[in-house]
Structure 1
Amino acid sequence: MKTRQKDRDVPGPQAPWNEIKPLLWMGGHFWTDQAGELQPAVAGREFDLVISLFTRAGHGPHPGVEHLITEIPDGPLTAEQIHSVQQLALTAAYAVRSGHTVLVRCHSGYNRSGLVVAQALIELGQDTATAIDLIRQRRSPWALNNQTFEQYLTAGLDVAYLLTGLDALT
């Protein structure tokens, strides 16, 4: 399965992860240091829950940390994948409400993690535009540069799920 689109010419993130809202962090498996070199982002015990939408061996988290893995592509999603995003966002929002630190990560921490974090913010009471703006302010202006994901959020994931499911019927 293709999990990362190579056609985007965007700068890498300047940090392994960033706090978007208290207890809710967004990041990737890789980040770019001040010299412009790609660095691995390895989670240890910093978080109570790590949600990975992309994985690489050796990037953590520590075996004692709850780790949910659901690999999805950085492109159009199936109805089943949208449903998975909804479930992961609900899990993240529940953990934050319960006082747990959560990291949602993908390759660079821009799109897949942005989709789940934005939906978690919506579950926590933010409107869609505010959730997207907050992610771009706290993580990177390049976050959620996947227009399809932004459209899913703007339409609402329930609507995106239903419309995507219709495609499967034809």
Structure 2
Amino acid sequence: MKARQRDRGTPEPQAPWNEVRPRLWLGGHFWAGPDGQVRTAVVGPEFDLVISLFTRPGHGPDPGVEHLISELPDGPLTAGQLHSVRQLAVRAAEAIRTDRIVLVRCRSGYNRSGLVVAQTLIELGQEPADAIALIRQKRSPWALNNQTFEQYLTTGLDIAHLLAGLETPS
């Protein structure tokens, strides 16, 4: 599985994770401290549900914390991957509705996790453009800089899923 490639000029986030709305957090495995040094973000027991779209050994969460893993590329997604995004967002929204604290994370907490968090916000009743703007405000202006992911959200994941299913390998 190909992970996110470091984009030249894209800075590391300034925090390991940020609260986008009550009980919904967006984060990554790496972040830059005030000194500019890249640090690892290790999840302990602070969340009730952790959704990881990128994983590395030793980054948590603690045993006993519900942990869903669905590694995704930071690029065009297949119909099956889009279905997984939707299912993860539904699970996150259900958890939030029952007062559980959710972290969605990828490498830096910009694109893959931004996609799932934005879809979670949509599941909770927000419009796509408002969800995208909120994520950029709360996490970073660099969040959801993957134009394809932004298009999935503005088109609607259901429609994107159908369209991706029409593509046939050459």
TM-score scaled by length of structure 2: 0.98
Question: Are residues 1:61 and 2:68 paired?
Answer: no
Residue identity matched to 1:41: A
Deviations 1:35-91 (A, max 9, x none): 111100000000000000000000000011000000000000000000000000000
Residue aligning to 1:141: 141
Residue aligning to 1:12: 12
**Structure 1: gaps spanning 5 or more residues:** none
Residue aligning to 2:98: 98
The CA distance in 2 between the partners of 1:78 and 1:8, in whole Å, is: 26
Give the deviation of 1:3 after TM superposition.
1.5
Deviations 1:15-53 (A, max 9, x none): 000000000000000000111111000000000000000
Residue aligning to 1:150: 150
Residue aligning to 2:80: 80
Seq. identity, %: 71
Residue identity matched to 2:37: E
Residue aligning to 2:167: 167
How many residues end up aligned between the 2 structures? 170
Deviations 1:134-164 (A, max 9, x none): 0000000100000000000010000100011
TM-score scaled by length of structure 1: 0.98
Q: CA RMSD in A?
A: 1.0
Residue aligning to 2:119: 119
Q: How does 1:29-44 map to 2 (within 5 A)?
A: 29-44=29-44
The CA distance in 1 between the partners of 2:126 and 2:132, in whole Å, is: 10
SS in 1 for 2:26: strand
| 4+ long deviations beyond 4 Å | none
The CA distance in 2 between the partners of 1:152 and 1:132, in whole Å, is: 11
Residue aligning to 2:89: 89
Question: Are residues 1:25 and 2:25 paired?
Answer: yes
SS in 2 for 1:117: helix
Give the deviation of 1:5 after TM superposition.
2.4
Give the deviation of 1:169 after TM superposition.
7.0
**Structure 2: gaps spanning 5 or more residues:** none
Contact 1:5 1:75 in 2 (8 A): no
SS in 1 for 2:45: coil
